[in-house]
């Protein structure tokens, strides 16, 4: 069984997040025991991203969703930061801009989808339109309830164009979230991340869990799966995400493309030029 199968949401299944332990850490007892494996995964991610960029035929979209302080930024920095920025992009989805609000809800997602050869990470994503929009009642149920099918169609279109999609819900406990908020308040370098809405959303925790459960059940597909990652332990989050991304990219069976020039001819010209330089020196 592939490593990620234990975290993968089976298409069409019902899911109860309350039944998934966010403090799960598998066989490793501590960060120290997992560090070597995480570093090996990071090294392999760099190699695989190089192959994807060189092959220039397919692309990878990684979706990161979590409640506030769930670890999206940390995952990008400590795991996906191992990839070369030349072929990797991160796009953070915030409140829609004035221009974005004049289009359909998927317009801005398509605008930032990966091109061939690229890895793109969505920090939050088009799923906000069935999560915060639903919980905050920003549109009627008759509107957001249709969006699951629209999302599946959008992702199917990307897949048909050569994009692999992996989606991670970073699952933290309510207690761990509060502790991370406290750490931010005590750290002057991170206080800017705190907002009133962070604490307001804690009162809506059950509604967010319900919204996430619906999104995971309705939009985890064979080709665009959701993974629920226990994320109370940051190091385990990094280990699980890195391992799943590595496995996904290895399954793409990417190859370095053949050269577009005649290598033997270039070698011949190089040796001729080198020989002339040596004769001139003599």
Distance CA 178, CA 196 (A): 13
Contacts of 10 (CB under 8 A, 6+ apart): 220
Q: Decide the pairing of beta strands 163-171 and 119-123.
A: unpaired
Q: 192-207, pLDDT tens digit by residue?
A: 888 877 788 899 999 9
DSSP letter (8 states) at residue 263: H
Average pLDDT over residues 154-176: 98
Which residue would you say has higher pLDDT here, 2 or 257?
257
Place of tokens 């406290």: 182
Lowest mean pLDDT among 66-80, 131-145, 255-269: 255-269
CATH of segment(s) 3-281: 3.40.50.300
| Three-class SS state of 241 | helix
The pTM assigned to this predicted structure is 0.92
Question: Is the pLDDT at 265 greater than 80, yes or no?
Answer: no
Handedness of CA 250, 78, 227, 95 (dihedral sign): negative
Whether the per-residue pLDDT at 277 is higher than 80: the answer is no
Q: What percent of the chain has pLDDT over 70?
A: 98
Contact 53, 117 (CB under 8 A): yes
Q: How much of the chain, in percent, has pLDDT values that exceed 90?
A: 83
């Amino acid at each position: 069984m592939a490593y990620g199968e234990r975290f993968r949401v089976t298409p069409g299944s019902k899911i109860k997040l309350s039944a998934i332990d966010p403090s799960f850490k598998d066989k490793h007892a501590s960060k120290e025991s997992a560090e070597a494996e995480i570093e090996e995964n990071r090294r392999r991610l760099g190699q695989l991203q190089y192959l994807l960029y060189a092959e220039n035929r397919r692309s990878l979209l990684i979706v990161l969703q979590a409640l506030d302080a769930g670890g999206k930024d940390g995952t990008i920095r400590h795991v996906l930061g191992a990839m070369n920025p030349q072929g990797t992009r991160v796009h953070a989805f915030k409140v829609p801009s004035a221009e974005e609000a004049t289009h359909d809800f998927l317009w801005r997602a398509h605008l930032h989808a990966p091109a061939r050869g690229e890895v793109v990470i969505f920090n939050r994503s088009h799923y906000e339109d069935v999560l915060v929009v639903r919980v905050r009642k920003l549109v009627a149920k008759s509107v957001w309830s249709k969006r699951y099918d629209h999302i599946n169609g959008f992702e199917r279109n990307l897949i048909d164009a050569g994009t692999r999609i992996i989606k991670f819900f970073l699952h933290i406990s309510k207690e761990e979230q509060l502790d991370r908020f406290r750490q931010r308040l005590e750290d002057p370098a991170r206080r800017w991340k705190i907002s009133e809405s962070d604490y307001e959303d804690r009162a809506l925790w059950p509604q967010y869990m319900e919204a996430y459960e619906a999104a995971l059940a309705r939009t985890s597909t064979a080709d665009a799966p959701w993974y629920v990652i226990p994320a109370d332990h940051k190091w385990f989050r990094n280990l699980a995400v890195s391992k799943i991304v590595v496995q996904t990219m290895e399954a793409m069976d990417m190859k370095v493309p053949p050269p577009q020039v005649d290598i033997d001819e270039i070698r011949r010209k190089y040796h001729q030029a080198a020989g002339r330089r040596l004769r001139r020196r003599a």
